[in-house]
Structure 1
Amino acid sequence: MGLALALGLGAGPGAGQPLPAASGDDGRRLERRWNELDRQIRALEELLPAEEAPPNGVAPASPLRSPQDTAPLPPLALPEAASLREGQPQALSLEQTLAIGFANSPSLQARREEVAAALAELQSQMGTYWPRLSAFAAGGTDQASTSFFSPTGTGTLFAPSNPFFIPPGGRGSLNTNANGVATGLQLRYELLDFARTPKARAALASLRSGRLAYADALRRLQLTLSESYYQLQRADQLVRIREAVVRNDLLILQDSLDLKQAGLVPRLDVLRRQAIEADGQEQLIAALADQAIARRRLAALLNLPPQLTPAAGDPIRLQPRWPLDLEASLVASYRDNPELEALLATREALLQQKDAVAAGLLPKLSLFASAGASASNANNWNVRVADGGCCGATVATSLNTYGSDWSVGLAVSWLLFDAGTTRGQARALARRGAAVAQQYAAQRNDIRLRIEQAFFGHEASLARLVAARRGVKASLEAFRDARLRYQAGLSSELDLSNTQERLIASLVQRLEATVNVNVTYAQLLRELLPMPTDPEAPVPARLQWAP
C-alpha cells in the first residue's frame, strides 16, 4: 500500500541502473518532493508514540458534558427525524465514557430496578411477622312488599276482642323500607406459621443475588465500554495511517507522471502507482466506515441522545503489565466474585422457597378478633286488611334498631391431603437448586478459561508489541535505505513499493499489539475489579487494579 512516498518513483527503463540526469526544474521539483516525503515519514513514525507522549493531531477530551446534554431519551420514546442528524463528534476520555455508561446504560438501570423490586419483596415478607388489622363498613337499603293470609285464623286462641285475633280467611298487606349500616375492626395474627421464616429468608437471598448480579453487570459493562473505546481508538489511528498513506501515494503518483513525461520512467510504473493509489483510497474509505461504526457502537452502549456522536479524546496509552502471575490471578478471581456469589444466593433462595412450600403441610395457628356496631331503621306503610283483617294490629310504623358485637378466638388449619401437590412443588424447587449448583461449576470453569485466555493474550500482546516496535524501526530504516538505493540506481520502484508495504504493515501491527494489550488488561479487570453491590453507591471508574 501506498507509503512508497516520493521515493516510489518507478525505475527507469533499466532497473538497477542510475537515473539519467534531470533538468534544473525537474531537480528542484524532486527536491521539494523529497522534503515532503521526509516530513510524511516523520509524521507516520509519530502516529504511535511512546506511552508518555500523546499522538500528534489528537485534540484533548473536552470537559464532561452536563447531565442534561448526555441524558438519554425516555425508555419508551422514539427519536424524531431532526434529532437523528449527527453533529460535531464530542471527544470523551475513557473515564468520561465509563461514567456516562454507568449512568445511562439501560441494562444497568434494569438491574437497579430489579434490586429495588427484590428489596420491596423482602419488606413485604417482613410484614408477615406483624398482625393484620383491617376496618370494615357496610350500608344498604331495601324495600319489600308483604302479604298475609290466614285460612284458619286464631279464633280458638284469642277472643274477637283480642288485638291478636284473626278471623278465618283474614288478609293483610304492607310495604316495608329498611336502612342499615354496620362498621367494625378485625384483627388477625399468625401465631404459628412455619412457612413465614423460609419465605423471608428466600426474599433476603433473592435481594443479595440481585445486588451481586448488579455488581457483576458493572464488571461486564466496564469491559464492554473499555473494549469499544479501545476499538474506536484503533479505528481513529487506522484512519490517520490510511490518510497519510493516501497523501504520500498522491505525491508519488504525481512524481511518476512528471518523470513519465520526462521519459525517465516507463508507463508500467505509472500504472502500478495508479493502482496502488486507488487501493489506498479504498482502504481509507473502509477505515472511515469502520470509524463511523465504532462511534455509533459506543454511542449505543452509552445510550446517548441521538444527535450526539462520541469520539475518542484520549491518546492511546499503554496499560502496564498485569501485576499478578496466573495462579494468583485465578485465586483472586474466585475470591468474592459477584458472579459466583450471585449463583450461591440464587441457590439459597430456591432452597428457602422449597422449605416454605413444604411448610404448607404443617399446621397454622392464628389469633382473630373483631368488634363492631350496627344500626337499622325500618318503615312500614300502606298497611291494609281485608276479610276481617290479618296481622296488622302489631305492625309498627317505624322501628329503629341499634346493636354492637365483638368476638375473639383461635383458629387452627392443617392441610391433610392435597394429592402430592405440595411435595411435588418442593421437589421441583430442590431440583432447581441442584441445577444452579451445576451452573456454579460451569461458571467457575468459564472464569478460569477467561482468566487464562486474557492472561496469555496479555503476555503475548506485550511480546508482540516489543517485536512490532522493532519491526517499525527496522521498516523505517529499510525504507530509507531503499530510497537511497533507488536514488543511486541500485533498486527498482517495485522494491521501494514492497518496502513501503512492509512499513505500513509494521505500523498496523504495532497498533494492533498496543490495542490488544489494553483490551486483555480490561478483560482481566472484568474478573477482579471490585464493584459496589449497592445501586445507590457511586461507581468508581478505575482502570487499573492492584492487589
Structure 2
Amino acid sequence: MSSKLGAGWGDRGSMGGSGTGRPLASWILAGMVLGLGLGSGPVAGQPLPAASAGDVRRLERRWNELDRQIRALEELLPAEAEPLSGEGPTRPPLPEALLGPAEAGASPGTGERFVPLPPLALPEAGDLRPGQLQALSLEQSLAIGFANSPGLQARREAVAAALAELQSQMGTYWPRISAYANGGTDQASTSFFSPTGTGTLFAPSNPFFIPPGGRGSLNTNTNGIAGGLELRYALLDFARTPKVRAALARLRGSRLDYADSLRRLQLSLSESYYQLQRADQLVRIREAVVRNDLLILQDSLDLKQAGLVPRLDVLRRQAIEADGQEQLIAALAERAVARRRLAALLNLPPQLTPTASDPIRLQPRWPLDLEASLLASYRDNPELEALLATREALLRQKDAVAAELLPKLSLFASAGAGASNANNWNVRIADGGCCGSTVATSLNTYGSDWSVGLAVSWLLFDAGTTRGQARALARRGAAVAQQYAAQRNDIRLRIEQAFLGHEASLARLVAARRGVTASLEAFRDARLRYQAGLSSELDLSNTQERLIASLVQRLEATVNVNITYAQLLRELLPMPTDPDAAVPARLQWSP
C-alpha cells in the first residue's frame, strides 16, 4: 500500500488531481489506516497487519460526514466579490475606518489646537468624524495631559475647596459683627368701658375722673423703624482649635492627593504613549510581512509554472498571506484604539487624533537596586502621606466633637436706635367720657438703647449622642491606619513587580536582539534556497514565522522596558503639591 500511495502522490504533482484516478479521500484514508497500522505494529521488520475493509469504510464515512459539515459552514460565510483565482498575488483593500487620517497629514500643531471642550459641553455634529492626525512627543503629551486632564482639574478644585474651608474655620477666632434693621406699620381700633369709674380718687372736675359707665373708642395708626449693631465673640470655645487643625489636615491631604494624581497620570500617559508606539511598530511589521508574503507568493507561482514546486506550496503561501492580512487588520484596529485611548487621557478636541512622533527609545537601566528602591518609595510618598493626613483630620474632628461637651463663654454687645409715630383719630366718648388720659391726635417718639454682657452655655445631657459621634470618628481613624498598612504592602508589591519586570525585560531584550539577528539571516538563506529549489516551502514558512515572532518579541521587550521604568517612576518621581506650581515632565529619575 505504501508504494502505491507514494506513486500516486508523485503522479499528481499537486492536490488538485490524481494520476491513479482514486479520490483524495481514499488517499487520506489509506494514509490514516497505514498510520494506524504503524502505530500498532509489533516490532520493526515484522509484516504490518492489514486493515480490514470495514475499518476503511467506517473511516471513509466519517471523512465524508466531516467534509459535508465543512461545506455547510462555508455556505454560511458571505461570498467574496472577487474569488481568489490563484493566478497571482492579490491584496484586498483594508478597512477605511482603521486607516483613519493620512499619516502624511500629521503636524506638530500649536497650543491653541489643544484646548478641550468645556466641561459641560457635548460634541456637535461633525466633530466626531476622523480629523487630522496630531503628531505629539512624549513630553508634549505629558504637558498637555497635565494641563487638560479633567481628573487632575477636579483635584485642583478639591484643593481650592479645602483651602476655603480652612479659611472659614480660621474666621471663628474673630468676632462676628452684624447689623439689624426693622420697620413696620400697624393700625388698631380700641374701645374703653369703665363700669365703676374712678370713684373718689378724683373730683369730677379732674381730667382723670371717669364716671361710672363711662365709655369711649378711638383708632390708632403707628409707624416705627429701628436699627443697630450686634457683636458676638467666643471668648472660650474648646472645639474651635481642633476644627481648624482638622481643616488644615484636610487641606494637606488634598494637596498630597493632587501630587499622587500627577504620578498616576504620568504613568497612564506614559503607558498609553508606549502602547501607541508599540501599535505603530506592530503595524509596520505586519505591513512588511504582507509585502514579503506577496513577493514569496509570486515566487511560488513562478516556480509552479516552471514545474519546480507543487500546487500545495502555492496554496500554503496563499493561506499564509491571508493570515498576514488578518494580522495586519488586527494591528490596525489596535493602533486605532491606542490613539483614541491617548486622546481620551489628553482630553483633546474631538476632531484631533494623536499619533506618536517619537521613535522608540530605550530607557536606561533603573539606577537603584530593589531594596534602595523600596526605601526610596516610602520616603515622602504622597499616597501614604495623604492617608496620614486623613487620619489626623479624623482625630482632630473627634476632638472637636468631644469639646462640644465642655462649657462655652461668649461676649455679646449691641446698640441701636428707633423712632415711631402714632396717629389717633375717630375718638368718641359716651356717658361722661373714658380712659382717664389725654388722647393726642399725633405723637412722635425717639429713643436709643445698648446692651453688653457675657453668655455661658454648657451641654449637660444629650443621651450619649456627642460621645457616640466621637467614638465613630476614632474608629474611622483606626480604619485609615489599616488602609495605610495595606497601601504600604501594595506599594512594595508594585515596586517589586516593576523592578523585576524591568530587569527581566532588559534580559529578554538582549536575547530577542540575538534572536532577530539569527532569524533574519536564516530567513534570507531559506528564501534563497527555496528560490533555487534546494529547500521546501515548509522550511521557508517555519523560518518566516520564527522571524516574525522574533521581531514581535524584541518589540514587546523594548516597550516593556519603558513601561516598567514608568511604573517605577510612578512610585518615586517627586511631584509638586501646589496646584499653581509648574509640573516638570521628567522621564528619568536619579537619586
Give me the TM-score of the superposition, normalised by structure 2. 0.81
Contact kept in structure 1, 2:13 and 2:311, CA below 8 Å: no
Query: What residue identity is the alignment partner of 2:176?
Result: R
Contact kept in structure 2, 1:122 and 1:203, CA below 8 Å: yes
Cα deviation for residue 151 of structure 1 reads 1.8
Q: Which residue of 2 aligns with 1:499?
A: 543
Query: What residue identity is the alignment partner of 2:573?
Result: L
Query: What residue identity is the alignment partner of 2:471?
Result: R
Structure 1 stretch 123-132 or stretch 380-389: which is displaced more? 380-389
Point out the structure with max Rg over C-alpha: 2
- Which residues in structure 2 correspond to 1:11-26 (within 5 Å)? none
Query: What residue identity is the alignment partner of 2:275?
Result: Q
Contact kept in structure 2, 1:148 and 1:173, CA below 8 Å: yes
Distance of 2:184 and 2:566 partners within structure 1 = 72
Distance of 1:309 and 1:143 partners within structure 2 = 76
Q: Which residue of 2 aligns with 1:145?
A: 189
- Which residues in structure 2 correspond to 1:373-388 (within 5 Å)? 373-388=417-432
Contact kept in structure 2, 1:256 and 1:273, CA below 8 Å: yes
Among 201, 204, 211, which residue is 2:245 paired with? 201
Distance of 2:384 and 2:104 partners within structure 1 = 42
Three-state SS of the structure 2 residue aligned to 1:162 is coil
Q: CA RMSD in A?
A: 1.9
- Which residues in structure 2 correspond to 1:475-514 (within 5 Å)? 475-514=519-558
Q: Which residue of 2 aligns with 1:135?
A: 179
Query: What residue identity is the alignment partner of 1:154?
Result: T
Q: Which residue of 1 aligns with 2:93?
A: none
Cα deviation for residue 166 of structure 1 reads 2.4
Residues 536 and 60 (structure 1), Cα distance of their counterparts in 2 relative to 1, 3 Å cut = farther
Give me the TM-score of the superposition, normalised by structure 1. 0.87
Three-state SS of the structure 2 residue aligned to 1:82 is coil
Contact kept in structure 2, 1:176 and 1:379, CA below 8 Å: yes
Structure 1 stretch 424-433 or stretch 510-519: which is displaced more? 424-433
Which consecutive unaligned segments of at least 5 residues does structure 2 have?
Answer: 1-11, 15-101
Cα deviation for residue 113 of structure 1 reads 0.5
Three-state SS of the structure 2 residue aligned to 1:76 is coil
Number of aligned residues: 494
Higher relative contact order (CA closer than 8 Å, sequence separation 6+)? 1
Q: Which residue of 1 aligns with 2:53?
A: none
Three-state SS of the structure 2 residue aligned to 1:187 is strand
Asked if 1:231 is matched to 2:275, the reply is: yes
Q: Which residue of 1 aligns with 2:63?
A: none
Cα deviation for residue 356 of structure 1 reads 0.7
**1:28-66, Cα deviation, whole Å (9 max, x unpaired):** xxxxxxxxxxxxxxxxxxxxxxxxxxxxx9989854521
Cα deviation for residue 487 of structure 1 reads 3.7
Structure 1 stretch 383-392 or stretch 145-154: which is displaced more? 383-392
Distance of 1:62 and 1:327 partners within structure 2 = 44
**1:122-155, Cα deviation, whole Å (9 max, x unpaired):** 1111111111111111111111111112222234
Contact kept in structure 2, 1:230 and 1:519, CA below 8 Å: yes
Contact kept in structure 2, 1:175 and 1:382, CA below 8 Å: yes
Distance of 1:65 and 1:229 partners within structure 2 = 19
Q: Which residue of 1 aligns with 2:511?
A: 467
Asked if 1:441 is matched to 2:466, the reply is: no
Structure 1 stretch 449-458 or stretch 130-139: which is displaced more? 130-139
Asked if 1:170 is matched to 2:214, the reply is: yes
Q: Which residue of 2 aligns with 1:43?
A: none
Three-state SS of the structure 1 residue aligned to 2:368 is coil
Contact kept in structure 2, 1:384 and 1:392, CA below 8 Å: no
Contact kept in structure 2, 1:64 and 1:96, CA below 8 Å: no
Q: Which residue of 2 aligns with 1:218?
A: 262
Contact kept in structure 1, 2:238 and 2:406, CA below 8 Å: yes
Query: What residue identity is the alignment partner of 2:361?
Result: R
Cα deviation for residue 89 of structure 1 reads 1.1
Asked if 1:342 is matched to 2:386, the reply is: yes
Cα deviation for residue 213 of structure 1 reads 0.7
Asked if 1:390 is matched to 2:434, the reply is: yes
Cα deviation for residue 393 of structure 1 reads 5.8
Query: What residue identity is the alignment partner of 2:526?
Result: A
Q: Which residue of 1 aligns with 2:116?
A: 72
Q: Which residue of 1 aligns with 2:70?
A: none
**1:346-387, Cα deviation, whole Å (9 max, x unpaired):** 111111111111111111111111111111111111111223
Asked if 1:83 is matched to 2:127, the reply is: yes
Residues 292 and 59 (structure 1), Cα distance of their counterparts in 2 relative to 1, 3 Å cut = same
Contact kept in structure 2, 1:61 and 1:314, CA below 8 Å: no
Contact kept in structure 2, 1:172 and 1:392, CA below 8 Å: no
Q: Which residue of 1 aligns with 2:301?
A: 257
Cα deviation for residue 262 of structure 1 reads 3.6
Structure 1 stretch 283-292 or stretch 380-389: which is displaced more? 380-389
Three-state SS of the structure 2 residue aligned to 1:83 is coil
Q: Which residue of 1 aligns with 2:19?
A: none
Q: Which residue of 2 aligns with 1:107?
A: 151
Query: What residue identity is the alignment partner of 2:142?
Result: L
Asked if 1:545 is matched to 2:552, the reply is: no
Three-state SS of the structure 2 residue aligned to 1:194 is coil
Among 269, 272, 292, which residue is 2:316 paired with? 272
Distance of 2:267 and 2:324 partners within structure 1 = 33
Contact kept in structure 1, 2:232 and 2:411, CA below 8 Å: yes
Query: What residue identity is the alignment partner of 1:485?
Result: R
Query: What residue identity is the alignment partner of 1:454?
Result: A
Distance of 1:529 and 1:148 partners within structure 2 = 90
Among 211, 230, 233, which residue is 1:186 paired with? 230
Cα deviation for residue 180 of structure 1 reads 0.8
Contact kept in structure 2, 1:61 and 1:92, CA below 8 Å: no
- Which residues in structure 2 correspond to 1:30-45 (within 5 Å)? none
**1:174-208, Cα deviation, whole Å (9 max, x unpaired):** 11111111111111111111111111111111100
Contact kept in structure 2, 1:108 and 1:217, CA below 8 Å: yes
Three-state SS of the structure 2 residue aligned to 1:259 is helix
Aligned-pair identity (%): 89
Asked if 1:430 is matched to 2:474, the reply is: yes
Among 474, 477, 501, which residue is 1:457 paired with? 501
Three-state SS of the structure 1 residue aligned to 2:358 is coil
Which consecutive unaligned segments of at least 5 residues does structure 1 have?
Answer: 1-11, 15-56
Structure 1 stretch 271-280 or stretch 231-240: which is displaced more? 271-280
Cα deviation for residue 77 of structure 1 reads 1.1
Residues 541 and 456 (structure 1), Cα distance of their counterparts in 2 relative to 1, 3 Å cut = same
Asked if 1:120 is matched to 2:143, the reply is: no
